[in-house]
Structure 1
Amino acid sequence: MHTKHNILFIINPISGGKGKLRIPDFIDKYLDKEKFNANFVFTEYIGHAAELADEAANKNFDILIAAGGDGTINEVATKVLQHQKILGILPLGSGNGLARFLQIPKNLRQAILAINRLKIDKIDTATFNNKKFFNLAGIGFDAHLSSVFSNDKKRGLAGYVKLGLKEVFGYRAQKYIIDIDGIEYQRNAFAISIANSSQYGNDVFIAPGASIKDGLLDVCIIKPFSLLKLPLLGYVMLKGTAEHSEMIEIIKGKQIKILRETDGAVHIDGEPLKMGKEIAVSVAPLSLSVVVP
């Protein structure tokens, strides 16, 4: 008789804007009961997923499944990493950047069947000042947009794009001093994204050549541009050709320090925060165990 794995599904009922209350029925239907003892909890506020994950990891849950968007995944993964457990993902967010990179199906039934096979892989994780991130973190325009967007209740891609177009007209590029593995770069930048995986989500690629298994981060510097070129920038990201674009400079590295002119917004896996002028970023190679298809 083999022992069953204790598995906890941490479900964010509001991520991606769809009602998630039927998820336990779905899991109940497709999860392999021979392999798993399943439990479910629903998050009620930002930061709750992390608390629930922490509690579960201390109890004797081996596998913690984040059912939500990039924010929920970040909270759960941070605790999984700390306690050296195993992370699973049911991608229910609007972007699902990390899940897409790992090729976890958006279809819920298929995502659960993938968990049944229990194939485990190790991926790189990264730290942005004192916060962990798994997909992307950044400063500059996208961080500014995240912070404005979080105050705007009309979530969803269309709302995001609309707000982006409104904000982009007033946004000015800033000066940054960037140190990547001991080499200093001075850059004027519209935004700087630090990519562990290749995309923001929705197949918008900022770092098409990024890998979550290479022990490196891709520092993506979006150069200042005339607004006439905004459609081109969008096109480059949707086509996945950022590495060949004049508009984006990508430098790979392990230890990154960024000095900017003022304190301000940052985003970590899409969630907006405020940080100071100095940002230190590092990578921990193959540090997180994840269930992959």
Structure 2
Amino acid sequence: MKQIHFIVNPISGKGKHVINQELIDRFFPKEAYKVVLHFSAYKKHAIALTQEAMKQRPDIIVACGGDGTIHEVAAQLVNTDIALGIIPVGSGNGLASNLEISKSMDQAMENVKNGLIKHIDVGQINHKYFFSNMGFGIDATIIENYEKSGSRKLISYLKAAIQSAKKFEFKNMEMTINGVPKRVKPLLLFISNSNEMGYSMTLTPKASLQDGLLDILMVPKINTLQKFYFGLLVLLKKTDRFAPAEWMQLPRLEVTISDFQNNAIQLDGEYYLFKENTFVIQVLPSALKVLC
């Protein structure tokens, strides 16, 4: 008998979804499946719920929510034999879209039931994981302002981007690649494991979840007109046309931000404050099992 645990964020996507026992029973008959439902009550609650579910040694743990919920659940399953299932009911749904998991509730449930397991790469920064992308620059400021807005709409994200562009604080950074240091002062230092950020937007269209590499985009300090032009290219998914940008594919890099002891970083579209200034970012090849 296959055992499946569902970790449900009831307020994802404004709480319009209905994931309950009746729905579960329709897809997973009790004679063939043991299914347990868990509902998160606050931010990061999904972490504790997943850890509790793991004690039962299930075959699958399903994250039902947006990118934040998926991140919290997936981070517990790295380098385990438990497969991650995804029911994307959030706003951005970046990782689910990259994995071609349908937003249709019925199709997503069928994917949990009959989907094939794919082993995907996982990004790691010091003690934390990321699955889609992370960033040190203006994207972290955008996420901070986006979360403060209290709205999970694309227009709110765009407003946060404009607000952040006006007040962004540049930091001196040192990137070390293959032992060679390089000083930068970037508007954006974006490190991606997948080719989508959410809302169907991308900064790294050539990134792959299975190539053992991280795609790195570094945009230096630019003027206001260039910022608006870069923003337009992001919306058009043509960031590769932005000449001032630098692109790299690497399995590992180090970043030091010597002037700041606390640093804001976005991980998979969520804001985090790291109380450290030296970072090792690397890829863990094929470290997560996902149903897709």
TM-score higher than 0.5: yes
* Amino acid across the alignment from 2:95: L
Take 2:180 and 2:89, find their aligned partners in 1: how far apart are those partners?
39
Which amino acid in 1 is paired with 2:127?
N
Residue of structure 1 aligned with 2:124, choices 127, 130, 135: 127
Alignment correspondent of 2:239: 242
SS of 1:78's equivalent in the other structure is: helix
Quickly say closer, same or farther: Cα 1:245–1:32, change in 2 above 3 A: farther
In structure 2, do the counterparts of structure 1 residues 31 and 233 end up closer, same or farther at CA, with 3 Å as the change threshold? farther
Q: Does 1:141 align with 2:160?
A: no
Aligned equivalent of 1:117, options 114, 131, 134: 114
Matches within 5 A, 1:7-156: 7-22=4-19, 24-31=21-28, 35-81=32-78, 83-156=80-153
- Partner SS, residue 198 of structure 1: coil
- Greater shift, 59-68 or 34-43, is seen at 34-43
Q: Give 3-state SS (helix, strand or coil) of 1:185's partner.
A: strand
Matched, 1:270 2:284: no
Secondary structure of residue in 2 paired with 1:166: helix
Distance 1:258 1:107 in 2: 40
Q: Secondary structure at the match of 2:291?
A: strand
The verdict on how the C-alpha distance between 1:51 and 1:240 changes in structure 2, with shifts beyond 3 A counting, is same
Show the counterpart of 1:216.
213
Q: Deviations over 1:209-265 (max 9, x none)?
A: 111101111111122222223342233223333234214322111121111232321
- The answer on 1:178 being equivalent to 2:175 is yes
**Alpha-carbon separation, structure 2, partners of 1:71 and 1:22:** 18
Aligned AA for 1:287?
Answer: A
Letter in 2 for 1:123: I
* Contact 2:84 2:290 (8 Å CA) reproduced: yes
Is structure 2 residue 204 aligned with structure 1 residue 196?
A: no
Q: Identify which range, 25-34 or 153-162, moves more after superposition.
A: 25-34
Unaligned runs of 5+ in 1: none
Structure 1 residue 45 displacement after superposition: 1.0
Deviates more, 1:153-162 or 1:199-208: 153-162
The CA deviation at 1:63 is 0.2
Deviation at 1:29, TM superposition (A): 2.6
Cα deviation for residue 92 of structure 1 reads: 1.3
Structure 1 SS opposite 2:172:
strand
CA RMSD across the alignment? 1.9
Report the 3-state secondary structure (helix = DSSP H, G, I; strand = E; otherwise coil) of the residue aligned with 1:200.
coil
Q: Which deviates more, 124-133 or 158-167?
A: 158-167
Amino acid at match of 1:28: D
What is the rounded CA distance, in whole Å, between the counterparts of 2:33 and 2:178 in structure 1?
Answer: 44
Residues 10, 147 of structure 1: CA spacing in aligned structure 2 closer, same or farther, 3 A cutoff? same
Residue ranges of structure 2 left out of the alignment (5+ in a row): none
Q: CA deviation at 1:112?
A: 1.2
Distance 1:193 1:247 in 2: 14
> Once the two structures are superposed, what CA deviation does each residue of 1:17-53 show, in whole Å capped at 9, x if it has no partner?
2333445544433446665322211101112111111
- Specify the alignment match of 2:285 in structure 1: 285
Letter of the 2:278 partner, please give it: E
- Alpha-carbon separation, structure 1, partners of 2:164 and 2:237: 24
Q: Relative to 1, partners in 2 of residues 1:290 and 1:36: Cα closer, same or farther, differing over 3 Å?
A: same
1:61-102 Cα shifts (integer Å, max 9, x gaps): 110000111111111111112543110111111111111111
1:270 offset after TM fit, Å?
1.4
- Cα distance in 1 for partners of 2:233, 2:28 equals 39
Identity of matched residues, %:
30
* 1:57–1:83 contact (8 Å) kept in structure 2: no
> 1:280 corresponds to which letter in structure 2?
V
CA distance in 2, matches of 1:270, 1:109: 26
Contact 1:73 1:89 in 2 (8 A): yes
Amino acid across the alignment from 2:117: I
Distance in 2 (CA, whole Å) between partners of 1:243 and 1:35 is 49
